[in-house]
Amino acid sequence: MEFDHSRETPFAEESNRLLPPEISRTLQLNKLIFELPEPRRQEAITSWTGEIRGRLDQLKGEGTPRVSVIIPAKNEEHNVLQVLNTLSLQESRYPFEVIVVANNCTDKTAELARMCGVRVVEYTIADKKDIP
């Protein structure tokens, strides 16, 4: 079942007010970007993914990462940048890597994650409905 991103609920508006300002700005920016017409949307995505990539590169540090953040995703084109941006705003005393596991994606989830400089693992596992 796909989530309808176009619907706003009173609960969603109220919960956004309770979020830390950085998270609230991330949600607002993501919504605005995906409402833009092409080619402005692509320009905004390129700019934002560049910012995310820069912050994540700083968090990687030198050498082998001590922490791996693994994000499972299936058709999360409208959400993956929110998650990666929020991660990029974190502070860590340990170098870490981010891995997006894109399973059966038919949208731009993997492409957007790669634009942010994270490792992307794409593979296909049958849906439960396909398993006898």
Evaluate the omega torsion of the peptide bond into residue 39 and state whether it is cis, within 30 degrees of 0: yes
Other CB atoms within 10 A of residue 63 CB: 7
Structure tokens at 21: 């300002």
Task: For residue 117, give the nearest of 66, 68, 55, 64 by alpha carbon.
Answer: 55
| Beta-carbon contacts of residue 42 (< 8 Å; ≥ 6 apart) | none
Task: For residue 99, give the nearest of 126, 60, 72 by alpha carbon.
Answer: 72
Residue with tokens 């994270």: 118
Residue with tokens 């619907």: 7
pTM higher than 0.95: no
Q: pLDDT (tens digit, 9 = 90+) per residue, 74-114?
A: 999 999 999 999 999 999 889 999 999 999 999 999 999 99
Q: pLDDT (tens digit, 9 = 90+) per residue, 31-76?
A: 999 899 999 999 999 999 999 999 999 998 888 899 999 999 999 9
